[in-house]
């Protein structure tokens, strides 16, 4: 949600504000003495006010803007006749505001407040002007100063009229924009106390809690409203809150209630569709998106979502059709071509995928790179990252590296970290371990303040056989603060790869103590499950993975890991298959998941389906020895011993190219034994 969405209602003044403070205020005239003060001529004042009001009406009714100046002149004459009338000066200030003379309006209102600081109408006028200005201005120092001016006025307004629910709600939104969240919460609570039945106040407080990550309190605020009093808006807010908690079934139920109350509420239908998708109900989600497309055929975003579902179902051509349809509606979109490139990449149409990304980069290119805004740099980083991964999937590692270096050249520590991480990952996937280490060293030198790059280098050096200094360098990053969580995570991962399991478990315990977000807790449970699995403590590992899945039913890594672990142990095969299938539904082109489901099919005796999945996996991750081991077993089982031997031999080659941290020597011995036996049998067959 963009910050300015917190200001739901802005007054309709025309033109951007030019603050009166931009130039010195006019000098205050000396106060008249009793001897010189003229007695008010209220009859003349009323006469000129009546004329001013008539001209105002004609400006408003007939659009005769030339009469605005006459109205202003008459107001001036009325004020000259009765200088003590705050009503007349307030009317003139309002007229200035309505006719776009914002500076004059501000000056008049401020003059009134100098004479009468408790003038509510003058403060409301200034408040409305500042609000309108916030809607017109871009973010920056100017908008921040206007925000503070608006806050000052509404703080005074609620003192003068403390029982106005709308004013407390608006001040809370202003505090929210100013990141003063505690004060915002207080104003929203006051608004609810003044008007408990206000859905606007209740939903606004709930959304604030959601943004703070306190979804429990958000749920409590919304649940406190009786069901009979809940509106479609309240149910939608409840659905959004459940979605943040990853309680997708509850979110679905809430959005269904919202739609029952307002069947034309497309936002609620979108919420329902998204949560059906989150819950793995892709067909039901697709039906809801089709409802939206029928109701609003020009909504490009709906076709993008439909395409996403078809992509997950592996229906790439249909996904492309929907993206092409969206592209005709939003010619300047960057999201649509980006998704088209992703589908081309999934189809193995690498040249086309690369060309789409090159076109996006060319379209957004500037002659002087120093003129890119942060948003433009962010977009180019995303485009370059996609292009680099396309080249990497194509096997063109050097082209990928060259592209990732362009990410670094964009400037900014975040861009550089992402670029270096991709370079390191590329060399690791290619099993060019020394090149990966060299890249990590360069990253650490070029980004000396980057804790992440220091940890990446340490992990790489530990993998290269120098673990103790590497572990010490990571331990030195501990500061005794909440930020230590990620350091403990890194220590746990390093110790697990080094097979120092007690140390890994201790680090995970400390990381869990520092984890406040649910995602962070889930990651600790996942890593703990992985640590148990590597120790062959399968029952304990299963508990941890199921804990992750209970918290997030769409956690693809946990679903795959648990399913593969069970299938590999030849246990609970139907259950194992269902877990892997769910993971593959979430990420249908993932090579590791394709291997897992192929192995599950093999264990279930479904050899044709096993072969189809394992071949796809080998095409995706052809340097993974486990995939070739599985293919070897499949070919042996189906009477193709020569092909089995070829794959086992390839598995051994890949293991020999792999660092010790990623190799289980018992696996190598097992495959070597199968290969030796196969060679003997093949030799006998040749002699016959």
Where does the pLDDT of residue 272 fall: very low under 50, low under 70, confident under 90, or very high at 90 and above?
Answer: very high
Mean pLDDT of 629-648: 96
Instruction: Output the CA angle 503-508-512, nearest 5 degrees.
Output: 155
d(CA 112, CA 20): 14
Asked whether residue 3 carries a pLDDT value surpassing 60, the answer given is no
Asked whether residue 142 carries a pLDDT value surpassing 60, the answer given is no
Q: Which two tokens stand for residue 144?
A: 């921040």
Asked whether residue 673 carries a pLDDT value surpassing 70, the answer given is yes
How much is the pLDDT for 293? 95
Q: What DSSP letter does each residue of 75-136 carry, written as one string?
A: HHHHHHH-TT-HHHHHHHHHHHHHTT-HHHHHHHHHHHHHH-TT-HHHHHHHHHHHHHHHHH
Where does the pLDDT of residue 53 fall: very low under 50, low under 70, confident under 90, or very high at 90 and above?
Answer: confident
Q: What is the pTM of this model?
A: 0.73
* 353 Cβ contact partners less than 8 Å away, ≥ 6 residues apart: 341, 342, 344, 345, 390
How much is the pLDDT for 85? 67
How much is the pLDDT for 99? 64
Where does the pLDDT of residue 222 fall: very low under 50, low under 70, confident under 90, or very high at 90 and above?
Answer: confident
pLDDT, averaged across the chain: 86
Element (H, E) at 516: none
Asked whether residue 9 carries a pLDDT value surpassing 60, the answer given is no
Mean pLDDT of 264-275: 94
Asked whether residue 79 carries a pLDDT value surpassing 80, the answer given is no
Asked whether residue 31 carries a pLDDT value surpassing 80, the answer given is no
Asked whether residue 21 carries a pLDDT value surpassing 50, the answer given is no
d(CA 92, CA 84): 14
Asked whether residue 15 carries a pLDDT value surpassing 50, the answer given is no
Which range in 225-229, 286-290, 684-688 is most confidently predicted, on average pLDDT? 286-290
Asked whether residue 684 carries a pLDDT value surpassing 70, the answer given is yes
Q: What percentage of the chain has pLDDT greater than the value 70?
A: 86
Where does the pLDDT of residue 95 fall: very low under 50, low under 70, confident under 90, or very high at 90 and above?
Answer: low
How much is the pLDDT for 530? 97
Where does the pLDDT of residue 102 fall: very low under 50, low under 70, confident under 90, or very high at 90 and above?
Answer: low
Mean pLDDT of 521-537: 97
pLDDT tens string 160-183: 899 999 899 889 899 888 888 889
Domains identified in the chain and CATH numbers:
622-688 (1.20.58)
Are the C-beta atoms of residues 427 and 443 closer than 8 Å to each other?
no
How much is the pLDDT for 119? 82
pLDDT tens string 568-599: 999 999 999 999 999 998 888 899 999 999 99
Weakest mean pLDDT among 103-107, 133-137, 683-687: 133-137
d(CA 383, CA 682): 50
d(CA 486, CA 512): 10
pLDDT tens string 276-324: 998 889 999 999 999 999 999 999 999 999 999 999 888 999 999 999 9
Weakest mean pLDDT among 39-43, 78-82, 184-188, 560-564: 78-82
Asked whether residue 603 carries a pLDDT value surpassing 90, the answer given is yes
How much is the pLDDT for 32? 47
């Amino acid at each position: 949600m963009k910050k300015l969405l917190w200001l739901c209602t802005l007054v309709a003044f025309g033109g951007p504000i030019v603050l009166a403070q931009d130039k010195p205020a006019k000098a205050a005239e000396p106060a008249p003495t009793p001897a010189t003060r003229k007695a008010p001529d209220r009859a003349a004042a009323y006469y000129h006010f009546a004329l001013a009001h008539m001209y105002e009406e004609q400006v408003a009714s007939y659009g005769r803007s030339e009469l605005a100046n006459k109205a202003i002149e008459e107001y001036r004459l009325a004020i000259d006749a009765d200088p003590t009338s705050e009503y007349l000066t307030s009317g003139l200030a309002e007229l200035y505001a309505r006719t776009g003379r914002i500076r004059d309006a501000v000056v008049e209102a401020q003059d009134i407040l100098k004479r009468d600081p408790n003038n509510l109408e003058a403060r409301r006028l200034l408040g409305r002007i500042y609000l309108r200005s916030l809607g017109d201005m871009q973010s920056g120092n100017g908008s921040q100063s206007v925000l503070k001016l608006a806050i000052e006025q509404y703080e005074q307004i609620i003192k003068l009229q403390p029982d106005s629910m709308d004013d407390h709600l608006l001040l809370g939104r202003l505090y929210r924009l100013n990141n003063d969240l505690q004060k915002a919460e207080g104003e929203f609570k006051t608004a609810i106390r003044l008007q408990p039945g206000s859905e606007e106040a209740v939903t606004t407080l709930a959304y604030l809690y959601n943004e703070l990550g306190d979804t429990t309190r958000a749920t409590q605020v919304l649940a406190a409203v009786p069901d009979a009093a809940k509106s479609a808006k309240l149910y939608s807010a409840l659905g959004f809150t459940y979605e943040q908690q990853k309680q997708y079934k509850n979110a679905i139920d809430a959005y269904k209630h919202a739609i029952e109350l307002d069947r034309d509420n497309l936002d609620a239908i979108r919420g329902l569709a998204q949560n059906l998708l989150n819950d793995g109900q892709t067909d039901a989600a697709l039906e809801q998106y089709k409802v939206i497309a029928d109701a609003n055929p020009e909504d490009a975003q709906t076709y993008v979502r439909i395409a996403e579902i078809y992509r997950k179902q592996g229906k790439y051509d249909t996904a492309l059709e929907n993206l092409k349809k969206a592209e005709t509606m939003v010619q300047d979109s960057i999201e649509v071509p980006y998704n088209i490139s992703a589908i081309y990449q999934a189809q193995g149409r690498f040249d086309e995928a690369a060309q789409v990304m090159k076109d996006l980069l060319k379209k957004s290119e500037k002659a002087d790179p120093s003129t890119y805004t942060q948003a433009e740099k962010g977009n180019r980083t995303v485009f370059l990252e996609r292009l680099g991964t396309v080249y990497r999937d194509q096997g063109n590692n050097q082209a990928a590296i060259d592209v990732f270096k362009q990410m670094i050249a964009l400037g900014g520590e975040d861009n550089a970290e992402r670029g270096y991480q991709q370079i390191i990952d590329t060399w690791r996937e290619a099993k060019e371990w020394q090149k990966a280490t060299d890249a990590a060293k360069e990253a650490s030198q070029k980004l000396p303040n980057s804790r992440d790059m220091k940890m990446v280098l340490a992990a790489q050096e530990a993998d290269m056989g120098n673990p103790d200094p590497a572990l010490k360098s990571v331990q030195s990053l501990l500061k005794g603060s909440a930020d230590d969580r990620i350091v403990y995570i890194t220590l746990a991962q390093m110790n697990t790869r080094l097979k120092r399991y007690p140390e890994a478990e201790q680090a995970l315990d400390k990381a869990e103590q520092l984890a406040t977000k649910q995602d962070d807790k889930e990651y600790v449970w996942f890593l703990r499950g992985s640590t148990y699995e590597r120790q062959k403590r399968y029952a304990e590992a299963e508990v941890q993975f199921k804990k992750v899945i209970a918290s997030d039913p769409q956690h693809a890594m946990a679903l795959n890991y648990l399913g593969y672990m069970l299938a590999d142990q030849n246990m609970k095969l139907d259950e194992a298959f269902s877990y892997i299938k769910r993971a593959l539904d979430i990420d249908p082109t993932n090579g590791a998941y394709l291997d897992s489901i192929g192995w599950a099919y093999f264990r279930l005796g479904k050899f044709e389906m096993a072969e189809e999945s394992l071949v796809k996996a080998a095409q995706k991750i052809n340097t993974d020895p486990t995939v070739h081991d599985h293919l070897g077993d499949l070919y042996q089982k189906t009477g193709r011993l020569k092909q089995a031997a070829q794959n086992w031999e390839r598995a051994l080659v890949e293991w020999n190219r792999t660092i010790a941290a990623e190799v289980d020597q018992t696996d190598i011995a097992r495959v070597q034994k199968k290969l030796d036996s196969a060679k003997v049998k093949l030799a006998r067959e040749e002699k016959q």
